[in-house]
Amino acid sequence: MKRAFFIVHSLSQAKAAVAAAAERNLAVTLLSAPGAAAFGGAGWFAALIRAARESRPGADVAAILDCGPRADLVQAAFREELKQVIFTGDARQLRPLRDIARQWQAEILRRRPEACDLRHAADPDSVCRTWLGATADLKKRRPRAIQRPAAGIKKRTGR
């Protein structure tokens, strides 16, 4: 199943993303804002994800909390039963954190996946539907690695 990625900042945005993905039979991953664990907290994000899942029972909803450089927030996310986090801190902390993640059956990402950011969306429902429609169209029309010149245009040779 294909997966859609949305950066959400509120419950209404999370519900809109889940609904739009469910309408297209897509799995959805809800990402927090960069560093959101520091200002929103793991508990808030976990509650937001639970409420979004309850809005569409049966939808495949995953979540990724951005913990920035703070290892303590990564552990807090695991205690809230979040299974994926982003950690951008010191690489020396990564090995013990990955051991902890394994115990929680969780995963630590080092980079944010590409996603549609709903931060400034006045109407998140339409933004989600439009974005999903646009990405579907782009996948259908993959550009070729080598472009052929259009008819009537001379091909450049040398200088």
pLDDT in tens, 32-76: 999 999 999 999 999 999 999 999 999 999 999 999 999 999 999
The residue segments making up the domain with residue 12 are 3-136
Q: Which two tokens stand for residue 15?
A: 């519900």
Position 134 scores a pLDDT of 79
Q: Which of 83, 85, 106, 95 has its CA nearest to residue 35?
A: 85
Tokens coding 8: 């959400």
Residue 26 domain flag: yes
> What is the per-residue pLDDT for 101?
97
Q: How many distinct structural domains can be found in the chain?
A: 1
The pLDDT of 138-152, averaged and rounded, is 44
Indicate whether 122 belongs to any domain.
yes
User: Nearest 10 degrees: CA dihedral of 125, 53, 11, 2?
Assistant: -50
Nearest to 11 by CA among 37, 48, 42, 63: 48
- CATH of residue 15's domain is 3.20.20.70
Q: What does the pLDDT look like over 94-129, one tens digit per residue? A: 999 999 999 999 999 999 999 999 999 999 999 999
100-106 long-range contacts, CB within 8 A, separation 24+? 100/74, 100/75, 101/74, 104/78, 106/77, 106/78, 106/82
